[in-house]
Amino acid sequence: MRTATISRRQLLAAGATTLAVPALARTADAQPAAADFKGERMVVNSFGGPFGAAWKQHVVEPFQNTFNAQLAVVDAITGEVTAKVLASRGNPQLDVVILGDSGAAILAQQGLFEPLTEATVPNLKELIGIARLPGDVYAEFLFASEVLVYNKNQVKDPPTSWKDLYSPQYKQHILIPDLGNSVSGPVFLVHQAELNGGSVTNIDPGFEALTRLKPNVITYWTSMQQFANMMSSGEAWLGVWSSDRAAALIKSGAPVALAPLQEKPALFGNAIGVVKNTKHLKLAQSYTNFVLSTNVQSNFLSAVMLAPTNKNAVLSAAAKPFVVDPNGADVIDWATVAKEMPSWLDRWNRTITQ
Amino acid sequence: MDALTRRVRVGRWLPGMALRACNTVIGVFLVAPILIVMLSSFNPKQYFAFPPTGFTLRWYAALAGNTEIVAAFLFSLKLAILATTISTLLGTAMAVTLHRIRLLAAETVRGVIVAPLVVPGVVLGIALLLYFGQTDAVGPLVILLGAHVCLTLPFVFRIVTAGLESADRSIEDSAMSLGASRTVAVLTVTLPLIKGSILAAASFAFLTSFDEVVVTLFIAPPDTPTLPVYIFHYIQYNSDTLVAAAGTVMVLVGSLAAWLCSRKASLGRLF
């Protein structure tokens, strides 16, 4: 049960969103008194597009104003960020990075993060359990979930379980993420393994399930645009996608909806980490702390409709229907995924997409 | 008409018909996706859909009002103009030099100049990232400009070389026999002879730079992305009609460059 305090917070947050007040309180929870960095400049990344615009409004600009610092922002998504950090080890071109779990696990394995501590990033203490990693090598700052999306013109009786994907009525009409998709692909495979008695270390049931699923698959999608086009046109009836992308497509008025699933959701996170050997360590830690603060999480994640990892953050009423509560959910061990991925990809190419 | 005559007649027009039909199919295959994007950009629906259900210019208004897209467009334009200017000057000079002098290693030099055409963009991007990742000596804007010059130079070099090969060299020799120095002969005789090729080369260079996304992704400098990189990241999150409008603007800029070039040079002769 939620307490009265949380209800009040929700009310306040909803009110704030309705009034469209973008201003952030200067003192976020557990935020040490804002330091003056005297115009110090560092380079961070954002994902570009609408995510980048929201990041600029809710993170970059308030941080620059509050801390008197300069942030140069590079638009780069997970694969690009991972390549950039790997290529410039020793002389990092990026000081703090945000990226999908799949890339963060690789960088962590290579020792390319400066671990966070509760002393340098106090907001770590406010994160839910699954947002923290052993040694706080990096932290999750948001969670998305895997969702089942359907076309309302083609499917009158929405599915309620992942098992419905296998129903013969969807023959040649479902969209499944290709394993090559760095995040959605492995999440779906591991989740299907789990639903069939396997796990990240026992992937066989996942591959067996996907082999059974083959007759229903119209395409193994490789880009968000491909999924959006095929789903809104009705060419595909049902598909496995990511919650925030689905939210954006639904809000744009496309004839698609989220299937109400009984099973617990599969989550995947986006991580924030300080790059090893940064020349702006203090600034990088303050920025990381800022991203994990209650206010920034409430405002930014309401804008992009993703789940916060700070347990005190509250989403706007408009974002809530699209966001799964990450409390109590499980997350995938991405370190194992990073290790197994080459052999999985090989097996995928031989047995699934062949 | 006997059967043999009929067969001969059919034999005459059939290959022509088949070729025309084949060309039409290829033409439709190449042009249809672009047309679909252009038509979709006038669709009032917010999500990408075809066929359009109405007509609106609101996405173009939204495009003009989106400061980030406008900044990305202007940055791409500046970068393309700068890269084109440098690679046209350099590439023409290299082509003229290699065409006129006898060099033992000429083939090797030619190979090196056109190498970026052969190396996949991803490999080149990673290579540049690894190479420049170790130093702060060169600014990110210079690296990006250098990469675009690398990518556009082969087109200029190949097209200008083709132009030189089809130009009549005896005119330049005549100029020299009448007292012009080599420099004067090249500047006043050879270059005007191949100006069509140079213009074609410059427009190819411009288009290559303006559309480039793979290499640029790896070495993009902070703060302002190029337009193709902006669109690439945009569609990771949203698939709205704004992208179709941005794509249409890119196609129009490209078509304008190609049209300008086709007025001054016969592209067909170059390949």
Q: How do residues A138-166 score in pLDDT, each as one tens digit?
A: 999 999 999 999 999 999 999 999 999 99
Asked if the Cβ–Cβ distance from B133 to A74 is below 8 Å, we say no
Tokens 């709205």, residue?
B240
Looking at residue A264, what is its pLDDT? Answer: 80
Instruction: For chain B, say whether A6 makes contact (Cβ under 8 Å).
Output: no
Q: Once rounded to an integer, what is the mean pLDDT over residues B181-204?
A: 89
Instruction: Say how far apart CA B197 and CA B207 lie, in whole Å.
Output: 15
Q: Does any domain span residue B21?
A: no
Q: Does any domain span residue B41?
A: no
Give the distance from residue B47's alpha carbon to the nearest chain A alpha carbon, in angstroms. 6
Instruction: Say how far apart CA B161 and CA B198 lie, in whole Å.
Output: 10
Looking at residue B52, what is its pLDDT? Answer: 85
CB pairs under 8 A between A and B: 101
Instruction: For chain B, say whether A5 makes contact (Cβ under 8 Å).
Output: no
Reading the block at residue A68, the tokens are 């008197």
Q: Does any domain span residue B2?
A: no
Instruction: Say how far apart CA B24 and CA B50 lie, in whole Å.
Output: 22
CB contacts of B134 in chain A (<8 Å) are 88, 90-91
> B159: closest CA among B102, B99, B92, B111?
B92
Instruction: For chain B, say whether A234 makes contact (Cβ under 8 Å).
Output: no
CATH number of the domain at B210, please: 1.10.3720.10
| pLDDT band at B84; cut points 50, 70, 90 | very high
Q: Does any domain span residue B39?
A: no
Asked if the Cβ–Cβ distance from A248 to B237 is below 8 Å, we say yes
Q: How many beta carbons lie within 10 A of that of residue A289, not counting itself?
A: 22
Instruction: For chain B, say whether A74 makes contact (Cβ under 8 Å).
Output: yes
Instruction: For chain B, say whether A228 makes contact (Cβ under 8 Å).
Output: yes
Domains, chain A, with CATH or none: 39-143+267-322 (3.40.190.10), 146-264+334-351 (3.40.190.10)
CB distance B220 to B226 below 8 Å: yes
Q: Does any domain span residue B15?
A: no
Digitized pLDDT (tens) for each residue of chain A, 354 residues in all: 333 333 444 444 444 443 333 344 444 454 556 789 999 999 999 998 889 999 999 999 999 999 999 999 999 999 899 999 998 888 898 999 999 998 999 999 999 999 999 999 999 999 999 999 999 999 999 999 999 999 999 999 999 999 999 999 999 999 999 998 878 999 999 999 999 999 999 999 999 999 999 999 999 999 888 999 999 999 999 999 999 889 989 988 899 999 998 888 889 999 999 999 999 999 999 999 999 999 999 999 999 999 999 999 999 999 998 898 888 787 889 989 989 999 999 999 999 987
Select the residue from B233, B241, B243 to test the A interface by mutation, using most A Cβ atoms within 10 A: B233
CB contacts of A99 in chain B (<8 Å) are none
Domain count, chain B: 1
Q: Does any domain span residue B31?
A: no
Q: Does any domain span residue B100?
A: yes
Select the residue from A252, A275, A278, A279 to test the B interface by mutation, using most B Cβ atoms within 10 A: A252
Asked if the Cβ–Cβ distance from A91 to B223 is below 8 Å, we say no
Helix (H, G, I), strand (E, B) or coil at A307: strand
Instruction: Measure CB to CB from residue A224 to each of B47, B49, B235 and give the nearest one.
Output: B235
CB contacts of B135 in chain A (<8 Å) are 91
Q: What are phi and psi of B26, to 5 degrees?
A: -65, -45
Helix (H, G, I), strand (E, B) or coil at A348: helix
Asked if the Cβ–Cβ distance from A229 to B239 is below 8 Å, we say yes
**In Å, how far are A70, B126, B130, B140, B151 from B219, measured between CA atoms?**
21, 9, 10, 7, 14
**In Å, how far are A106, A223, A285, B246 from A275, measured between CA atoms?**
13, 28, 10, 34
pTM over 0.90: no
Give the distance from residue A1's alpha carbon to the nearest chain B alpha carbon, in angstroms. 34
Task: Give the domain range for residue B149.
Answer: 61-270
Asked if the Cβ–Cβ distance from A253 to B45 is below 8 Å, we say yes
Asked if the Cβ–Cβ distance from B134 to A49 is below 8 Å, we say no
Asked if the Cβ–Cβ distance from B47 to A53 is below 8 Å, we say no
Is the ipTM here above 0.85? no
> A48 to chain B: nearest residue by CA?
B233
Residue B171: HSE in the Cβ half-sphere, 13 Å Cα cutoff: 13
Compute chain A's Rg from CA coordinates: 20
Instruction: For chain B, say whether A279 makes contact (Cβ under 8 Å).
Output: no
| Predicted confidence (pLDDT) per residue in A23-72, tens digit | 444 444 545 567 899 999 999 999 988 899 999 999 999 999 999 999 99
Q: Does any domain span residue B170?
A: yes
Give the distance from residue B220's alpha carbon to the nearest chain A alpha carbon, in angstroms. 7
Looking at residue A33, what is its pLDDT? Answer: 60
